[in-house]
Amino acid sequence: MIPEKQLTIKDKFAFFRNQKYIYLDNAATTQVPDLVIKAVVESLSYKGNPHRSAHHLAKRNGKFITEARENIAGFIGATASEIVFTNNATDSINLASEAIGEEFRKDDEILLSLAEHNSHILPYYNLGKKGVKIKIIQLKDGVVDIEDLKVKLSKKTKLVAISHCSNVLGTINPVEEIGRMLSHYNPTILYSIDGAQAVAHLPVNVKSLNASFYSFSSHKMYGPDGIGVLYINKVIHTLLKPVRVGGGTISQLAVNYAADEDILYPDFYPTLQVLEGGTPNVANIIGLSKAVNFLKSIGIEIIRKHDLKLLQLLMNGLKQYKEVEIVGGINIDNRIGVISFSLKNASVKELGDYLGQQNICIRYGAHCAFLLLDKLQKETLRISLGVYNDTEDINKCLQSIGTFLNSKDKAVESTITKQLKNIPYYIKEAKMHTIDNLITYIKNELSGKRDINVIVMGGHFLGIPDIKKNTFYPSIKTLLPPELYPLLRTHGMTEFPLVTWEMGCSIVSALKEINISAELIIVINDTTGINELLSSPANATRKTVEQYRNDLIKEFSKELPIEYVDILKKYNLSTNDILSYRNLLFFQESILRSHFKNFVRKNKSFLKGAVEYTLNSGKISLNFNILINQDIKTCNIGTFGSKTGGKYCIAAVGELLAELFGVFEKSPYNYMPENICKPKSNYKNNMLVMLSPAMCNNAVNNSAELYIKLFSQGKKEGLFTFLNVPLGPEPKKSLQQGVDVTLITDK
């Protein structure tokens, strides 16, 4: 391990000589040692364009670049001819995707792990424009589930993208085992590894990994910003296209002059030079090479032992706090120097800000790994280690965490907030693969229960904006102009409305066959995107919000569209099986939100600190301090930057549940509206099945918790059951792949 007495580790960094920080955010970026800074400054003091000019400075820098390329290549077990210099790991992955993109065809498949950084997802996601499909590999014990990978591999698999180490969990994926497996299964499958978190902590040999691409950044391994590396296995060089062309990428450029068109004939170099057009980042390439030397001077194996020692100290300290929940398991043997944790009741943001005030540098939030955080359903605080950290850093950090948590334990919470937050609810999950599975699951949950009513939400849709005509259409393909079809997928609605309507009808029909009361409801999202279009240049005619909403619902205001009616008939149902609202065959989110806001405001003094709905400087603020999970997700639709899900979705669905099923008869509120006092269902026991958009899964589950705590309070007579079935834009495919349904009850 790095000896504690070896003060020269921190002494080699100007940052630590001049500052009194405890720096534990090394997974984001590392500090830079003196020898790297000196090399960069020296290079900037003696500028000369390498490989271009004939003078001494140019030749000198050309020699330095060549030596750096060889040094960096050797550090990861590659050859110099397989190394491309980029701006950072994100740029490396984008470059790989662009260079190999022409090899992909419609229906080819890319497999990505659930724990990937957004930078290892989005560049390959962009290939979806060519009809390439994405499949997500699940995790097991914090690492890539090899068995799930095996199941999802097929003859259509074109590329597999895996991070060497998770930037959130710190876990080390079995990348070498995966490389061998892919080589045996189909050696033409491309294998992209994000090595950004690994290179400063673990020995890396790209040949042993069988990697096609290996990407990493200088700034995460004690080097300067703005320089990264892309390793490309020489076996696939002939597949690459010259996508970063310019000076230094061609040996000759000829032209054929003709009457109609002059034709150029560039002669590109048959090397990776075609991906490095233009003047290279000389100073930072040299700086990165010096950073590699710095790591070599300590020794990767010694760094590994040092990480494990500090990890054990940190893990033991965190386990002492009951409030702390460590993610990714507590086994340190398969981790790099990264630990992330959430808090059961307190806010990770508050703790992160508090540590920042103590000059302790960490990171909290989603860590640019949105798929993983969506699965975890909570944001985390991350502590990540560097070669300069020591036991004193860890002990001071643990002490400050303890001080913060002790202060939170003593904090006084309003009586009503505490009472409502502590109302219990019960949750369980199951996986469904077919509609028959789902119907059987519902029947089993209803077995033995009497006086019960089931309401099924299907056919949900939102508004698709037509900017040219300044109007909205329902997100139902048969009701849309063809030019707006591409927006269906953007809004998560490709086949969603009609398929979920048919699923809902099949559930209601199956339940009625066994004499269980069952009804359908349709909920229209008439809020998303409307304010954005209202204030955009497209609204030249100054349409109002109400006019936009009327455009959206006009197809439904008098009678159902024929597509919905035909599906009803198919299952021997009629409009009498649809729960009406104000003489309409649908509920509107805007009205539900308005009712909820009115309820909260008229009970303001009672709910103070528990649920707050306020307007400050023209901005609405909505807070649910009684919910256990405060990491409430919203989804950006992409049209005008409009969003769906989030707190306002919780408010709308929570209000919907109250208006369907009512409230605890002896609830202590000052104001109780008639639509809640006289709910739609008069049954003792009630179930709502929501066939909901997967992008809103987090908010939909929170809405059931809100209803239980705010309205039923766990004391309402009978049993409340809420079944959330989150489905993607193409629900049939979602079911085939397996849907994780959530069942929430109040007793």
The Cβ of residue 239 has, within 10 Å, a number of other Cβ atoms equal to: 14
Average of pLDDT values for 172-200? Answer: 96
Q: Are strands 228-232 and 83-86 parallel, antiparallel or unpaired?
A: antiparallel
Q: 498 near 563, Cβ under 8 Å?
A: yes
* Tokens matching residue 246: 């310019």
Q: Which of 352, 382, 410 is the last residue of a domain?
A: 410
Alpha carbon separation from 188 to 128, 146, 206 (Å, rounded): 20, 19, 17
Residues 687 and 556 in one domain: yes
pLDDT(370) > 70? no
Residues 440 and 342 in one domain: no
What pLDDT, on the 0 to 100 scale, is given for residue 4? 45
**Residue 263 forms part of a structural domain:** no
CATH number of the domain residue 89 falls in = 3.40.640.10
Q: 328 near 300, Cβ under 8 Å?
A: no
**Residue 198 forms part of a structural domain:** yes
Task: Report which residue type is found at 88.
Answer: N
Average of pLDDT values for 671-700? Answer: 88
**Residue 268 forms part of a structural domain:** no
**Helices H, strands E: what count in the chain?**
27, 31
Tell me the C-alpha distance between 702 and 624, whole Å: 10
Q: What is the pLDDT of residues 88-97, one digit of tens each?
A: 999 999 999 9
Residues 78 and 215 in one domain: yes
pTM reported for the whole predicted model: 0.62
What pLDDT, on the 0 to 100 scale, is given for residue 7? 47
Tell me the C-alpha distance between 343 and 511, whole Å: 41
Residues 335 and 438 in one domain: no
Residues 579 and 565 in one domain: yes
Q: Which of 350, 377, 410 is the last residue of a domain?
A: 410
What share of residues in the chain are helix, strand, coil (percent, to 5)? Answer: 45, 20, 35
Q: 722 near 687, Cβ under 8 Å?
A: yes
* Tokens matching residue 356: 């920042």
**Residue 313 forms part of a structural domain:** yes
CATH number of the domain residue 390 falls in = 3.90.1150.10
**Residue 248 forms part of a structural domain:** no
For the purposes of burial, counting CB atoms within 10 Å of the CB of 144, is it exposed (0-12), middle (13-18) or buried (19 or more)?
buried
Residues 81 and 198 in one domain: yes
Q: Is 397 a catalytic residue?
A: no
**Residue 42 forms part of a structural domain:** no
φ, ψ for residue 499 (rounded to 5)? -70, -40
For the purposes of burial, counting CB atoms within 10 Å of the CB of 594, is it exposed (0-12), middle (13-18) or buried (19 or more)?
middle
**Residue 137 forms part of a structural domain:** yes
Residues 436 and 469 in one domain: yes
Q: What is the pLDDT of residues 442-488, one digit of tens each?
A: 999 998 888 999 999 999 988 888 888 888 888 898 988 999 888 88
Residues 6+ apart with CB under 8 A from 201: 165, 300, 303, 304, 307, 336, 337
Residues 20 and 140 in one domain: no
Q: What is the pLDDT of residues 264-273, one digit of tens each?
A: 888 888 888 8
Residues 700 and 568 in one domain: yes
**Which residue would you say has higher pLDDT here, 671 or 110?**
110
pLDDT(568) > 90? yes
Alpha carbon separation from 444 to 61, 441, 448, 511, 735 (Å, rounded): 74, 5, 9, 11, 19
By residue range, what is the domain housing residue 69? 53-242+280-296
Indicate which residue of 165, 361, 368, 677 is catalytic: 368
Residues 451 and 597 in one domain: yes
Q: What is the pLDDT of residues 12-33, one digit of tens each?
A: 999 998 888 999 999 999 999 9
Q: Are strands 452-457 and 461-466 parallel, antiparallel or unpaired?
A: unpaired
pLDDT(612) > 70? yes
Tell me the C-alpha distance between 327 and 340, whole Å: 6
Average of pLDDT values for 499-513? Answer: 96
The Cβ of residue 187 has, within 10 Å, a number of other Cβ atoms equal to: 10
Q: Are strands 452-457 and 517-521 parallel, antiparallel or unpaired?
A: parallel
Q: Which of 296, 327, 342 is the last residue of a domain?
A: 296
What pLDDT, on the 0 to 100 scale, is given for residue 6? 44
Residues 6+ apart with CB under 8 A from 531: 545, 642
Residues 446 and 558 in one domain: yes
* Tokens matching residue 32: 């830079």
**Residue 99 forms part of a structural domain:** yes
Residues 552 and 523 in one domain: yes
Give the count of domains, the chain.
3
**Which residue would you say has higher pLDDT here, 234 or 54?**
234
Strand, helix or coil for residue 604: helix
The neighbouring-strand residues paired with 194 are 163, 215
Tell me the C-alpha distance between 665 and 650, whole Å: 23
pLDDT(616) > 80? no
